[in-house]
Structure 1
Amino acid sequence: MAIYRSDGDKYAIAFVGFSYIDLVLLFICLRLFEKAEPNSSTRSNLKAAVWVLTTLLTVVFSYKVAAIMPVPVQVLVWAMAGATVLGGFYAFFVHRESKY
């Protein structure tokens, strides 16, 4: 439906296609991550893939939103996207849960 409504806009079609492919890959990686053995290299690789896929989605959606906003709001959108990406990196790769 989104491609039909894009009225032949190549960039809109690419955005929709990329978003759907990214989401499908994200769900596949999440499912494989859940099934992977704890502390395995496969699990670590899947964690990295999940972070990359969510980062890509954050960037493309931020780009689309920022494109229609005035400059001060664009700065806010990109700041929030950066905080989300960095927060995700910290949560996935830096933070260690306490054993208590």
Structure 2
Amino acid sequence: MEIEHLTWIGFIFLTGNSAMAIYRSKDDFYNISFVIVAYLSLLLLFWCLRSFERAGRNAPQRPCLKAYVWSLSTLLTCMFSYKVAAIMPWPVDLVVWGLGLSVVIGGFYVFFLYRDGNY
């Protein structure tokens, strides 16, 4: 199966799950907003990643795309950390936020500070 087909299958699966989550939360504006923002953020993230991969090594839009990818990844990490931490006891809550913070800081380091010649 080609990668293009797998991409469309993943997109359809994500869209279907998002639609089901919105339907199940039809009376809860906060949950609907969360699902919509997460869905749109994921779509933007995938689009930015694809654009980043297709851009040439010295393309002028490449640094901007890196910033978009990191920002969207940070947004999604914070959103999901908040949702998970809300249902956990406080010691696990601290672990969840600590792991989320380490992912955000590690992503910033890899995208913007680390230089090995590949990015």
TM-score by length of 1: 0.94
For structure 1, which segment, 34-43 or 11-20, has the greater mean C-alpha deviation from structure 2 after superposition? 34-43
Aligned length: 99
Gaps of 5+ in 1: none
C-alpha distance 4-98 of structure 1, shift in aligned 2 (>3 A) = closer
Query: C-alpha deviations, 1:18-70, integer Å up to 9, x for none?
Result: 01000000011011111112133300100110000000000000000000011
25, 34, 56: which one pairs with 2:44?
A: 25
Higher relative contact order (CA 8 A, sep 6+): 1
CA distance in structure 2 between the aligned counterparts of 1:19 and 1:98, rounded to whole angstroms: 32
28, 31, 47: which one pairs with 1:12?
A: 31
Alignment of 1:1-100 (within 5 A): 1-97=20-116
Show structure 1 runs of 4+ deviating over 2 A: none
Cα RMSD of the aligned pairs, angstroms, is 1.3
C-alpha distance 33-9 of structure 1, shift in aligned 2 (>3 A) = same
- Residue 61 of structure 2 aligns to a residue in which SS? helix
Gaps of 5+ in 2: 1-19
TM-score by length of 2: 0.79
Structure 1 residue 98: Cα displacement: 6.0
